Amino acid sequence: MRALRLGTRRSKLAMAQSGQVAERIRRLTGRSVELVEVVTTGDISREHLTAIGGTGVFVSALRDELLAGRIDLAVHSLKDLPTAQPPELALAAVPGRADPRDALVARDGLTLEALLRAGAADGSGRPARVGTGSPRRMSQLHVHARSLGCEITTVPIRGNVDTRIGYVRAGELDAVVLASAGLHRVGSEEAITDLLDPDTVLPAPGQGALAVECVASRDDLVAELGRLDDPPTRIAVTAERALLSALEAGCSAPVAALADHREDEPGTTVLHLRGAVGTTDGATSMQLSTTGPVPASDGEATARADRMGRDLAAEMLAKGAAGLMGERAQ
């Protein structure tokens, strides 16, 4: 039996997470897997993501390779995956989720609160300069800074993990904010100076989770890859992505969501979903939450999670969320 061709972006992070999925496939199925590097527009363009179509640009080239039959499966960061699933492609597996939180990499080993109170490194009294390419992070960082009576300067940046950390080590920025999961996947977790509690910075929908995609008509492969699926993770991210979809917001909009399973009573599990939107400068923001029981059947639980996400989005829209996002899906 020939090796499965796993398409991946060529970045250090993409190669690392694809390699981890490939190893799991080998262990679970006995199939050999080879990585096939695919260059995407997002990898070669230096423009800001919002100018080239948002994080979805990382996905389209891989999907083209799948549909052309040049690869058998693709691995995506789930937070980059558009919420509309093409019928010809199957989301065959959502493996167990890594830590969904954001992480701070700051000068002098500072926590976020210490950094905000200390300001810029030059002693000028100016606000700390924090780099991120995410409008969602920008919005919430400004909100948190103001809650402490501080100011912050957010700086739009792009580049891989090493490049972004390099801005701090070179003294160009006081800190950068990255996904904790990505830092761990590339072995750079020692650079983390603070893990940001979701009460401070709520993560992106699907953050920390991966998506394994293949052509829907390949039933045997869909079933084979389905062995990697983690039902609790899929249920949680279904709620988060349903909220994002119902808000009609793209992956680059300042929308945050996190769902987690909690024990309500002994033997009773509920899903708690939080959603947030806000202007990029943090001047106006909104965060709402909802909780609902998780049915025993995975299929019913996923459907319930989807409804929870859409209902919470409807509540947010009724309270004016559309005017805060700044970006609407086209």
Which residues carry out catalysis?
80
Nearest alpha-carbon partner for 12 in 166, 225, 233, 231: 166
Q: How far apart are the first and last CA of the chain?
A: 43
| Cα 202 → chain centroid | 11
The encoded tokens of residue 203 equal 């993560």
The HSE-up count of residue 133 (CA atoms within 13 Å, CB side) is: 20
Helix (H) or strand (E) holding 13: helix 12-29
One-letter amino acid for residue 221 of the chain: L
> CA torsion angle for 260, 264, 267, 268 (degrees, to 10)?
-70
Cβ atoms of 8 and 18 closer than 8 Å: yes
Which contiguous run of DSSP H or E holds residue 272?
Answer: strand 268-278
Q: Which residues contact 217 (CB under 8 A, 6 or more apart)?
A: 88
Which residue bears the tokens 């597996």?
93
What Cα–Cα distance (Å) separates residue 263 from each residue in 40, 99, 203, 293?
42, 19, 22, 10
- Cβ 198 vs Cβ 101: under 8 Å: yes
List, in sequence order, every beta strand (DSSP E) within the chain: 4-8, 33-37, 73-77, 89-93, 102-106, 128-131, 152-155, 175-179, 194-196, 210-215, 255-265, 268-278, 285-293
Question: By the 8 A CB rule, do 274 and 202 touch?
Answer: yes
